[in-house]
Structure 1
Amino acid sequence: MPGHQLRYDVNCSILFTELPLLDRPAAAKAAGFDAVEFWWPFAEAVPPAREVEAFLAAVHDADVQLVGLNFFAGDMPGGDRGVLSWPARTAEFRENVELVAMIGAATGCRSFNALYGNRTADLHPTVQEETAVANLAFAAATVARIGGTVLVEPVSGPQPYPLRTAADAVAVLDQLLVERDVRNLALLADLYHLTVNGDDVPKVLAEHADRIGHVQIADAPGRHQPGTGELDLDGHLHQLERAGYHGWVGLEYLPDGPSAESFEWLPRHRRGSGADQTDEGKR
């Protein structure tokens, strides 16, 4: 079984989608999990306050910990993968950053995923890179007020998304560190995305374990639960443990069947996060 000491959370934006979004934290709790994460759970960068309040109440009432949240990423179903590198949407992104920090303060969430954004045909890549650096620095400074970390993720799928490998994302982290002394940035290592993009996952984990702030998993091919594909998740997660990774592992897969039945690979007694987590361990 993968990662005997690792703690798992459920990504409720891709699991339990058979339920209304606000019912999903309670469903994760009923399945034995104490922690959840979400992509941006609203249609707008800054939704009405009543929608935010309802989301906070759903997490609180389910008695689960929110351990990961994405910044607004545009129209995800339509193919957007972030807006932080789009100059025309900088104001919108920064308003969202302030709201994300407020949600983090209210929930204890300290890890925030900033999807970089697709390349656009009307802008030179350098312009988008400069915009991304400025907006990542802003996001990092904003969540630093609550002890938060901004995550940068390589993803598969849309080819205009420029961060495909761990090295691509680490280069962004390095640029922010060198140019702006931004230190609360980390790599989000989604083992599925890295695998299907052709990255050498054991090499990535060996070289960058100290830069990883969050891990997500799905099997490959198919992006379903562990055991449905050919990815050596056991080996990868054990390697992470040996390298000293003590963060969360987000279950970010498309369940092959009902969500509640897709956790059979993980014994119920290993789904809870334990009661003695420190603030540092929650990140």
Structure 2
Amino acid sequence: MVADLEERFAGFAARLRPAAPYRDPWPAERRLAMIAIDHIARGHLARGHLARGHLARAHTGAGHTATNHPVAPQSTPSALTRLGFSRGEEIDAATGRPYAMYVGGAWGVVLVDLSMPARVVVEVPHPNSDLRTERMGARLFRLVPGSVLLMAGAHRRAAGGAADVAHNDRSLFNALAAGAAGRRLPQVQLHGFADRSLPGLDAVISTGTTTATPAAVRVTDRLRRIGLATCQSWQDSRGRLEGIGNVQALTAERLGTVFIHLELNWRVRGDERLRSGALEAVAAADIAAG
């Protein structure tokens, strides 16, 4: 039996340590990452038999749970596998949708919904540092069909802080995110902050710049509807945590694509009901609409 996606991502994150090794990719490796995300955005991934029409067979019987299935042979290695990522293809038991998972050690995890063309990129740059954001990423991936999930593969303090992919424009994570922005895929990046950092606030929404976007306003409105005290960084200076200067946000702004930087306090991230409600609100805001 394959573990639940949230549990798998929590397991990946739990193994990350600040003392673990990390290196930035070489320029040629970053180019391969750009090719990989271009193929994902164009829907040019090689699909195994699950994504080619055998979903009905995978769902026979009540109480179905996902199982491992072999991936159909590929004529040439994908760009991510050439970078050393392992690849698996499975059915998500919670949604019934097929996905491909690429695991690349300290370079992270890439999860691709194979049921429809890519519509939005969910990003988790600080797993096992911004606690529960790895679970949030997996949950939001499930809530938004057509998602691509990028999760960093190293603790943000590894290699003297070089592994902080939200502030390192040489990382493989950034190459993937920049490629997504170049293909005009909206991005939502998940972060956390300590309750004591901003007393009285549950959530901070930023575009990574001082400019509002319709998508960011919709996310704010949805979070406020469920009772979360939410501030917008373009209106309230208290909200300028790490969104300003985020390298993925700066690239998205330069390319004119949607970027949402969402910070949730520990009270919300640590409570299953509040965390789920916040993510459902984000999904309902339909970031893919721009």
Q: How high is the TM-score relative to the length of structure 1?
A: 0.33
Q: Higher RCO, 1 or 2 (CA under 8 Å, sep at least 6)?
A: 1
Q: How high is the TM-score relative to the length of structure 2?
A: 0.33
